[in-house]
Amino acid sequence: MTQTASRPKSSRRALLPALAVVLGLVLVYLVCDYELSRRLRADAQVDAHMRVLAIASELARQQSVGAVLASDPEIITTQERADAGDWQALSQRLEALNADIRASVLYVTDAKGRAIAASNWREEESFVGTSYGYRSYIREALETGEGREYALGSVSHQPGLYLSRRIDGPEGPLGVVVVKLTFETLETGWRSSENAAWVSNRQGIVTVTSDPALRFQPSPEPQPVTVSEPVPGSDWVLWLHLPIWPVRSVAAAVTGAAALGMVTLWLAWRSLRRRQVEAALYRDRLERDVEARTLALTRQIREREEAEAQLAGMQSALVQANKLASLGQISAGVAHEINQPLSTIRLLAEYGQDAVPEGADHDLLRSNLGQIVEMSQRIGTITSDLRGFARKARGNREPVSLAQAWQASLRLAASRRASEAAEIHAPPIPETLMIDAEAVRLEQVLVNLLQNAQEALSGQSDGRIWLELVPHGRSISLYIADNGPGLDPDVARAPFTPFQTTKPKGLGLGLVICQSILRDFGGELTYDPRAGQTGARWRIDLNLWEAL
């Protein structure tokens, strides 16, 4: 009776560890799945935001084109005269303009919706002469002033977004200006990613998409890892779907590893139990084994202490190397700052030699001035070599982390920033954002622009400098702006003229060198001030390494 009662109790005791192991593995799987899904969603949100910025930027640019053309006096005059020769000239003008703005098609209709001029007037599928009065974007523009529709072209049979603006005359509407956008380049880039992406309008119909089969279909139902973000300036919403199977695979792999670890621990525990049982019979042997293991452990501890000592020495050497590197940067900055006054001293001394009046001290004064010239030349040679050594670059373009280059530039400009007390604001830059450039020369450009901004804000208590990032598909634009007095209008018209400077001690070569460096990377530096705002604003265009 006692034996019968003990068996179920022992079975339950054996079942409890197995149940605990199963529950633990389930918990490990759920935690891994949750954490990986959260990180995946965060990465997807960043990706979606970058794509939204690209779409919004293109929409804003093309909308402004339609607004400008709709109020163009020449187009209004052409509409009022209704002359075929004028329409031909207008088509040629639209063709030339479209070569710059890179829209799909630009065309102008009369008040009834018939196309009278188009940028594709030379092509077989020219829009000229085709009536579009039945299209909703034409009707909306004539009724409300502007319209928008994503639809399939009736002539080109290519899907695109039609942005329309009404042309108003003294006696009423004269016609409509239409800008057609296609997103083929954007969609091609999306298709190279594993993540499915699409844009839906207010009615939930898919427009721009990485999967052409979804176009003009209802937006798919959100999946477990799907993020969305509205596109500014439109009624569109971008959806980004990430496949869940990589997360589940990794979670399963981690769970499998945990299960393997538990099995290993269980086997180790069984082995330990077996050794404990055998220890009673083989105590002497066990003591010898313990002694041998103790000696081995002592040797390992000694080796570890030696390794830690070596590591401490290496860390000390690394700290010293960092100090020397910082000292080199400071020395290079000092060399750069004293170069101009040193040149002035040498020049004045040379002029003084020729201007010494005849007299008792004539030879002595000329000798002293000659020594000043020689010492100035010697110091100039030393500072020139020091600057060349400190700024030496490899000359090879490579993937450069924009975040690291920005942080390095802030460190290089730190001393000037501290003296000028200007606040610097910058958005978070993804570590994975790689630029096709050369690290040292890119930092040189950023430091030069930062120092120019700091000098412009000298003496200004509320001085601010900020960085903006605007992606453009295969490239990205960096805007470095300040709230200082801005450039003089004469300088702003040609800011890259050599030896043109507003600094009392400047050479006027910094911006010229920066522009040359960026062009070597395939980029560009332009002066791009904001309308209606004070301060200077520089735009740096760079190519993304990932898109090459």
Q: Among 113, 105, 99, which residue's Cα sits nearest to residue 167?
A: 113
Express as a percent the part of the chain with pLDDT over 90: 9
Q: For each of the domains in the chain, give its residue range(s) and CATH number, in order of start.
A: 71-182 (3.30.450.20), 185-241 (3.30.450.20), 294-392 (1.10.287.130), 398-543 (3.30.565.10)
* Whole-angstrom distance, CA of residue 323 vs CA of residue 332: 14
HSE toward the beta carbon, residue 178, CA cutoff 13 A: 39
Is it the case that residue 245 has pLDDT exceeding 70? Answer: no
- Band the pLDDT of 387: cuts 50, 70, 90: low
The per-residue pLDDT for 480 is 94
The per-residue pLDDT for 96 is 85
Is it the case that residue 279 has pLDDT exceeding 60? Answer: yes
Tell me, yes or no, if the pTM score tops 0.85: no
Strands (E) located in 140-290:
146-152, 159-169, 172-181, 196-200, 206-209, 226-230, 237-241
Residues 475 and 491 sit within 8 Å (Cβ to Cβ) = no
Is it the case that residue 321 has pLDDT exceeding 50? Answer: no
Is it the case that residue 396 has pLDDT exceeding 60? Answer: yes
- Band the pLDDT of 410: cuts 50, 70, 90: confident
- Band the pLDDT of 416: cuts 50, 70, 90: low
The per-residue pLDDT for 540 is 95
- The pairing of strands 206-209 and 475-482 is unpaired
Strands (E) located in 334-483:
398-401, 423-425, 434-437, 464-471, 475-482
* Whole-angstrom distance, CA of residue 183 vs CA of residue 192: 15
- Give 3-state DSSP helix, strand, coil % of the chain, rounded to 5: 55, 20, 25
Q: Among 85, 88, 134, which residue's Cα sits nearest to residue 108?
A: 88
Is it the case that residue 417 has pLDDT exceeding 60? Answer: no
Residues 508 and 500 sit within 8 Å (Cβ to Cβ) = yes
pLDDT tens, position by position, 10-41? 556 656 666 767 777 777 767 766 666 677 77
DSSP state of 218: B
HSE toward the beta carbon, residue 13, CA cutoff 13 A: 5
* Whole-angstrom distance, CA of residue 378 vs CA of residue 376: 5
Residues 49 and 228 sit within 8 Å (Cβ to Cβ) = no
Please work out, in degrees rounded to the nearest 5, the angle formed at the alpha carbon of residue 483 by the alpha carbons of 477 and 489: 85
Please work out, in degrees rounded to the nearest 5, the angle formed at the alpha carbon of residue 133 by the alpha carbons of 95 and 144: 90
Structure tokens at 476: 């990205």
The per-residue pLDDT for 282 is 74
